[in-house]
Amino acid sequence: MTDRINGARTAAALRPTGLNPKLRRPVLLLAAAAAAAAVFLLLGRLGQDRPAQLLCSLAAALAVAQWADLVRCLRGMRARAAAGAARRGQGPALVAVSMVCSVLVLWGLAANLVEPLYGVFRYAYGPVLAGAAVLLFLLPALRGAAGRLAAFLAMGRFRRALFLAGTLALFLTVQVRIASAVRIPPGWDAGFILDSAQRLATGSVDVLTEPYFPSFPNNILTTLLLAGWFKLVMLCGVSDLLLAGVVLNCLALSLGALLTYLVASRAANETVAVMTLPFSFAFLVLSPWIMVPYSDTLGLVFPILLVYLWLLQRQLRSPVGAVCVWAAIGLTSFVGYSIKPTVIFVPVAAVGAVLLMRKRPPRTWLRALAAAAVAGGAFLGSSYAYTTAVDSSDLFAFDLADNKDAFPPTHYLKLGAQTQEGPYNTWYGAYNDADLHETSATAPEDRFEQGLDAYADRVQAMGLPGYVTFLSEKLTWIVGDGSFFLWGEGLAKDWPFVAEDDFSRYIQSYYGFEQEHYGLLVGFWQAAWLVLLVLLAAPLFLRSPRLYATPLIVMRVALLGLLVFLLLFEGRSRYLYLYLPLIIVLAAATVGGAFGAPQGRAPRRHSGLMRHSPGTAGSNRWRRQQDPVSMEYGGEPEPGNHHYPALS
């Protein structure tokens, strides 16, 4: 009785009082308009520019119009936090490790809000903050719209498939049009790889003899993939290989957006999956790196694909099917690692999760170890087959298996401990010509020790307090750029675009460095990126059990591995782009977890599931038929309730 009375009092407190329900909406609209006008006039008096005035006014209007929803959200967060800890299926160590990722993101976010560090372009600070506030206030509306669309998609068997096909076609169409307009010879490593692939595809060279590949053999697979793609499109009559390269880039980015949706659907629910689409459009469709077919974009598919495969094996009942999926995880890990080595943090996070879970029966441990052994065997077998194939192809003037000229990890460790002056502030741990020449001039057998000594000397010169400060500034600089260091590599920003038609020139005015509308696009990316950072850090305060489901924890641990790697080794914001699909899933899951479970009818995930509204007797049967991963997001399952052989 007391609980019902308290619940009634809480519900009454959340309802606006003293207003006729018919008058409530007009009054709220008038109050929102008055708040917007007051903020607009106040900022005008303070000398703010017009974009900042408009965005701050819109934020004030949204805050007033949605005040009741925001109060409900905050009270709901508190209630879920109080009841959530006991329902988690993970051990405290696993949760603590995943929270370190949110701590690092929060630190970088707070530092950028106080004193931002810029890359190659200085965005308008005030309008960007106002735009981020507007986007944050739009999240409740986004959550509601996503829930309604998810319910609509669940009402028919083919609606979801048609929706995804149409969305993918739209994304790809927009991407190809943008990429064709802003394509440009990229220069730096990306340009050399593109040129090498073109020469192999056209047959202008039979063997690549440049010393670049012995020094950086990690780019061999990217070169071979591009060369194979160019040969394929040449058979179809395509002669513009630069255009073909950016189209391949678009295919990779669109596939990344699709996998982002599918992973969110499996790791959380369909509503969260729908919420990934606006973020995917902002950063994958309107991609800052859409014009550069390089490992950052071509490799973007692999981290999110590995998460998808890992989620898939959690639902398999067949041991044979599970072994096949784990073999695919090992193969995918190797291909991704060969394109971009930082892909490896995803399978490492999945393995680390089982080590930090609560105590489980020995059978579960044995199955997990067997799964890891299958994946590891597939990884090593793929590595051997790849090395043998490259050496037998005679396309490169060195033997990959016996290559001694590759730059060691300590070279990148040395790079990660130096600074240089950028156009607006200091850059931390970025590419450095002097370090490159120093390593190149060192005998291959001495490079490892030379890089380690240089790193130790630089850290010793800074001292422990100085090195901690350096790492803090480096984190701030790396996570603070929502354009992901666009135009910061090489000299490509000084080269003219290839396309010259009027519409292409209009698109170029947004993407071209310091062109007419470039600041608007960078400001949009920056505002949206700040929102993503807020949502990544939010689990520190929300503590909802939904946000600590095992799939989300694994993604956070993988992202933590990337952040720690970038703190120690060479780094800049471009290196974060590879993990953007994981970041989008985590951000969308935070919105879904913060605003509670969707109202109304539960979405049908698979054909044959019973469709009952939550709270009915049938809903319990429906929940039991749900896959364990989505159940874990909506409410933690009992420990050990996973299929064979789950490494989770």
Mean pLDDT of 577-582: 98
Lowest mean pLDDT among 218-222, 430-434, 643-647: 643-647
Mean pLDDT of 201-205: 93
d(C-alpha 467, C-alpha 21), whole Å: 60
Which band of pLDDT confidence, cut at 50, 70 and 90, is reported for residue 459? very high
Mean pLDDT of 238-245: 94
Which band of pLDDT confidence, cut at 50, 70 and 90, is reported for residue 68? low
Handedness of CA 240, 242, 248, 253 (dihedral sign): negative
List, for residues 19-33, the tens digit of each pLDDT value.
Answer: 556 666 777 777 778
- Residue ranges of alpha helices (H) inside 268-294 are 270-280
List, for residues 443-456, the tens digit of each pLDDT value.
Answer: 999 999 999 999 99
Report DSSP state, residue 573. Answer: G
Which band of pLDDT confidence, cut at 50, 70 and 90, is reported for residue 598? very low
Mean pLDDT of 38-52: 69
Give percent of the chain with pLDDT exceeding 90.
Answer: 62
- Residue 479: per-residue pLDDT: 96
List, for residues 350-367, the tens digit of each pLDDT value.
Answer: 887 776 766 666 677 777
Residue type, 47: G
Top pLDDT among 428 and 547 is at 428
d(C-alpha 648, C-alpha 644), whole Å: 11
Residue spans of the domains in the chain: they are 1-65, 66-634
Which band of pLDDT confidence, cut at 50, 70 and 90, is reported for residue 79? low
Q: Is residue 609 over pLDDT 50?
A: no
Which band of pLDDT confidence, cut at 50, 70 and 90, is reported for residue 34? confident
Q: Is residue 620 over pLDDT 50?
A: no
d(C-alpha 313, C-alpha 469), whole Å: 42
Q: Is residue 647 over pLDDT 50?
A: no
Lowest mean pLDDT among 199-213, 490-504, 590-604, 608-622: 608-622
Lowest mean pLDDT among 68-77, 136-145, 353-362: 68-77
- Residue 90: per-residue pLDDT: 57
d(C-alpha 588, C-alpha 190), whole Å: 32
Give percent of the chain with pLDDT exceeding 70.
Answer: 80
Residue that is written with structure tokens 């969707």 in the block: 598
Give, in order, the Cα–Cα distances in Å from 110 to each of 99, 115, 594: 16, 9, 21
Lowest mean pLDDT among 252-261, 358-367, 565-574: 358-367
Mean pLDDT of 166-187: 95
Q: Is residue 94 over pLDDT 80?
A: no
Query: How many CB atoms neighbour CB 519 within 10 A?
Result: 18
Q: Is residue 617 over pLDDT 50?
A: no
Mean of per-residue pLDDT scores for the chain? 83
379 exposed, middle or buried (CB, 10 Å; 0-12, 13-18, 19+)? Answer: buried
d(C-alpha 625, C-alpha 432), whole Å: 56
Assign 3-class secondary structure to 127-185.
Answer: HHHHHHHHHHHCHHHHHHHHHHHHHHHCCCCCHHHHHHHHHHHHHHHHHHHHHHHHCCC
Structural tokens at position 524:
């949009």
Mean pLDDT of 287-306: 96
Lowest mean pLDDT among 314-328, 329-343, 361-375: 361-375
Mean pLDDT of 235-263: 96
Residue that is written with structure tokens 């038609």 in the block: 501
- Residue 613: per-residue pLDDT: 37
Contact 292, 190 (CB under 8 A): yes
Q: What is the pTM of this model?
A: 0.84
Top pLDDT among 491 and 57 is at 57
Segment (H or E) for 426 = strand 426-428
Which band of pLDDT confidence, cut at 50, 70 and 90, is reported for residue 170? very high
Q: Which residues neighbour 51 within 8 Å (Cβ) at sequence distance 6 or greater?
A: 124, 127, 130
Lowest mean pLDDT among 51-55, 480-484, 534-538, 603-607: 603-607
Top pLDDT among 54 and 634 is at 54
Mean pLDDT of 151-160: 88
- Residue 385: per-residue pLDDT: 96
Top pLDDT among 57 and 137 is at 137
- Residue 546: per-residue pLDDT: 80
